[in-house]
């Protein structure tokens, strides 16, 4: 007989579970109170007894630390219990092991495990637990999961999904499928929020395979627009923290994030899953740190802005060449050339009677060839002075040591990073490919090669404190950047993005290029797009086709393309669309312009018509819900209920990078999309 067969029985059972959770919370609250009172007693005792024996003080200190640690643990448990009261669980499978005497066991699955200490049984299983994996991976019938004791085989006889909110069951659905389409459709049709949410209730089979992949050293996820790749990567991090508990902590994970706004937008997911947030950093911060933050540089946003506002053929060629594998190959050959030609040994007169011959110094430079070139000077100095001490009973002074080291260092022609980098382009016969900007500012594309050279000369400063690296928007980084990352972070990696959404088309990477850069990696694909309606997805596909994209069947309004006679009329039309949005049930509107300057100008005009319009710039640090005006670059990774894309005219959208920006802009829309233009429409939407 099925445990909790009817919906009425399920609702009664839910209330019993919530009652047990409440009892546990009350018990936990009492425990916290006891710990606080005990700590206060210790404190009062110490203050009122000035002449306490040192041994007693040591003993009391240990007791205080133990109580504090226990109290912290209890408070953490209390916090977790409070979170699961709203949605204790979302799914259930009935599983029976394939062995004699086994009984069918109902397995309720939620965000966190809940163990009923009184009855000594698990009432809820964490979605990351091995047994819970069957909910995502198997339909009714034969099923299995990997336990610490080995593979467990059996049969799933029942599969249910629930929608529970505020501790109340709204409905339940019986399903043989992994995640019932009705549940998925309801979740996808809901409005966007101010932060990315967890998706444990709707994880699909292909997504679950990525989340639970423990074998790949470098997992490269190519996911189409709206496939949930960032969310899946964060759920993967939560899964690894659960599975590898004790061997990795959230502080030992690092996210390379495109900007502060995106980092804020995704900041909810891990805490919702019961894990602490992980540190994040930008690619240029990493590269600049390798160079001791010594140089001014154009950041990635600056490069993209220049390509959009002032495209220059020579600038594009510089970016394109520095993103090629040929460039890396030539750089490696130049490093070898430096090894053979940049050290010119000379005689060193140490004292009136002792001169060290150049041949001997050159021999030592070759002897220590296992050291990076600029690391050899110290070792060579010590070795030469040791030889002198043994042979001539020479007394080494600090002055002599410093003189010899200085002389040896000056024999090497590669002590200035910028000069070496210039030499490299001269050596290649392509001096035009290096251009220092005003105030000796480096172009963004030069930051990684310069860091690569520095590491070859000074050695790698391996970041051993990072045990897992997550790289988002993978397509926007070049092979040379990945080479630097591999040297700095030899740890496991999760890399994700979409080659179709590059805002850096002249210097972007595909999944295959990334695997080639690392020399290893497993590529997994996410082809289903969940974000947009079929109508919006079809519109985006006509701008930039992605043959791998498979939309989930969710219908909505046809996208609109509105033509206006002039700029003023177009602005009035956009203002009218904003007014319509304000009266709708939608929560978020993204007005996505091609450039930040256009977004800033439009935001200023709209703000005169209403206070609730926010301008999201490259300097912003937080994502806000409501009406947002921003650039395509800043909108990457975000989603909105409704999107308006202004100025889609022939003058504004005409180049390769413009096309990428337009594709990014339209794929931000979940439910409604409108494009506006004055004058002649862009060729990218002619016939769309």
- Kindly state the tokens that stand for 208: 């679950």
445 is in an annotated binding site: no
519 is in an annotated binding site: no
Quote the CA–CA distance of 600 and 586 in Å, as a whole number: 23
The candidate with the shortest Cα–Cα distance to 161, out of 93, 108, 91, 74, is 91
Return the SS3 of 89. coil
By the 10 Å C-beta count (0-12 exposed, 13-18 middle, 19+ buried), 210 is classed as: buried
The angle subtended at Cα 159 by Cα 154 and Cα 160, nearest 5°, is: 155
679 is in an annotated binding site: no
107 is in an annotated binding site: no
The single-letter DSSP state of residue 279 is: -
Per this entry, what is the length of the chain?
688
Helix (H) or strand (E) holding 106: strand 105-110
Long-range (24+ apart) CB contacts under 8 A made by 40-49 are 42/67
179 is in an annotated binding site: no
Quote the CA–CA distance of 544 and 546 in Å, as a whole number: 7
Quote the CA–CA distance of 246 and 655 in Å, as a whole number: 51
Return the SS3 of 675. strand
CB 232 within 8 A of CB 200: no
The single-letter DSSP state of residue 345 is: -
578 is in an annotated binding site: no
Quote the CA–CA distance of 434 and 330 in Å, as a whole number: 15
Q: Alpha carbon 120 to chain centroid distance?
A: 39
246 is in an annotated binding site: no
The angle subtended at Cα 667 by Cα 666 and Cα 671, nearest 5°, is: 85
CB 339 within 8 A of CB 372: no
Quote the CA–CA distance of 339 and 201 in Å, as a whole number: 57
The candidate with the shortest Cα–Cα distance to 367, out of 394, 345, 388, is 345
497 is in an annotated binding site: no
276-295 core/surface letters (b: 16 or more CB in 10 A; e: else): ebbebebbbebbbebbeeeb
Residues paired with 126 in a beta bridge? 110
In angstroms, the Cα distances linking 553 to 181, 240, 364 are 10, 32, 70
Greatest CA separation for the chain: 102
Residue written as token pair 């937080």 = 622
- Residues annotated in a binding site for ATP: 223-230
- Residues annotated in a binding site: 223-230
């Amino acid at each position: 007989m099925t445990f909790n067969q009817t919906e009425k029985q399920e609702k009664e059972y839910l209330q019993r579970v919530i009652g047990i959770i409440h009892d546990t919370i009350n018990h936990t609250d009492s425990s916290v109170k006891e710990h606080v009172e005990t700590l206060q007693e210790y404190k009062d005792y110490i203050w009122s007894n000035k002449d306490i024996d040192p041994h007693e003080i040591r003993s009391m200190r240990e007791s205080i630390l133990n109580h504090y640690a226990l109290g912290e643990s209890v408070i953490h448990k209390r916090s977790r219990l409070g979170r699961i009261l709203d949605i204790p669980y979302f799914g259930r499978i009935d599983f029976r092991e394939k062995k004699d005497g086994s009984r069918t066991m109902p397995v309720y699955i939620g965000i966190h495990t809940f163990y009923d200490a009184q009855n000594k049984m698990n009432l809820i299983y964490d979605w990351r637990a091995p047994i819970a994996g069957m909910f995502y991976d198997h339909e009714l019938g034969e099923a299995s999961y990997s336990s610490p004791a080995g593979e467990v085989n059996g049969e799933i006889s029942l599969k249910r999904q629930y929608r529970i909110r505020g501790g109340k069951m709204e409905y339940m659905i019986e399903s043989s499928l992994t995640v019932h389409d009705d549940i998925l459709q309801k979740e996808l049709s809901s409005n966007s929020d101010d932060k990315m949410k967890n998706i444990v209730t709707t994880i699909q089979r292909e997504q679950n395979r990525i989340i639970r992949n423990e074998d790949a050293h470098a997992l490269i996820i190519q996911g189409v627009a709206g496939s949930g790749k960032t969310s899946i990567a964060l759920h993967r991090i939560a899964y690894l923290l659960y599975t590898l508990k004790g061997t990795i902590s959230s502080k030992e994970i690092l996210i390379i994030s495109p900007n502060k706004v995106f980092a804020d937008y995704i900041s909810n997911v891990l805490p919702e899953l019961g894990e602490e947030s992980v540190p994040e950093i930008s690619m240029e911060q990493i590269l600049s740190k390798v160079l001791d933050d010594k140089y001014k540089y154009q950041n990635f946003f600056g490069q993209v802005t220049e390509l959009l506002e002032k495209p220059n053929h020579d600038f594009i060629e510089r970016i394109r060449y520095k993103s090629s594998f040929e460039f890396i190959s030539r750089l490696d050959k130049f490093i070898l050339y430096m090894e053979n030609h940049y050290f010119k040994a000379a005689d060193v007169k140490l004292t009136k009677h002792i001169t060290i011959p150049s041949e001997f110094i050159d021999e030592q430079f070759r002897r220590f060839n296992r050291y990076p070139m600029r690391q050899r000077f110290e070792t060579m100095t010590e070795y030469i002075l040791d030889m002198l001490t043994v042979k001539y009973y020479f007394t080494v002074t600090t002055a002599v040591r410093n003189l010899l080291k200085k002389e040896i260092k000056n024999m090497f022609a590669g002590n200035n990073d910028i000069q070496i980098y210039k030499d490299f382009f001269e050596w290649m016969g392509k001096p035009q490919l290096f251009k220092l900007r005003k105030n000796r500012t480096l172009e963004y594309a030069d930051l990684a090669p310069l860091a690569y050279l520095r590491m070859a000369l000074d050695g790698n400063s391996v970041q051993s404190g990072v045990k897992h690296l997550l790289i988002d928007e993978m397509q926007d980084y070049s092979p040379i950047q990945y080479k630097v990352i591999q040297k700095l972070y030899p740890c496991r990696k999760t890399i994700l993005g979409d080659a179709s959404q590059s805002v850096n088309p002249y210097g972007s990477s595909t999944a295959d290029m990334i695997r080639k850069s690392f020399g290893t990696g497993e590529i997994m694909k996410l082809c289903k797009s969940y974000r947009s309606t079929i109508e919006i997805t079809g519109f985006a596909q006509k701008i930039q086709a992605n043959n791998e994209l498979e939309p989930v069947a969710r219908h909505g309004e046809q996208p609109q393309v509105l033509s206006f006679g002039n700029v003023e009329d177009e602005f009035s039309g956009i203002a009218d669309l904003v007014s319509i949005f304000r009266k709708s049930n939608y929560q978020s509107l993204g007005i996505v312009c091609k450039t930040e300057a256009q977004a800033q100008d439009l935001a200023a005009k709209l703000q005169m018509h209403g206070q609730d319009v926010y301008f999201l710039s490259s300097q912003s640090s937080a994502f806000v819900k409501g009406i947002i005006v921003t650039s395509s670059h800043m909108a990457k990774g975000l989603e909105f209920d409704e999107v308006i894309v202004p100025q889609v005219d022939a003058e504004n959208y005409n180049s390769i990078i413009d096309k990428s920006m337009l594709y990014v802009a339209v794929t931000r829309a979940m439910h409604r999309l409108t494009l506006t233009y004055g004058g002649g429409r862009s060729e990218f939407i002619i016939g769309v």
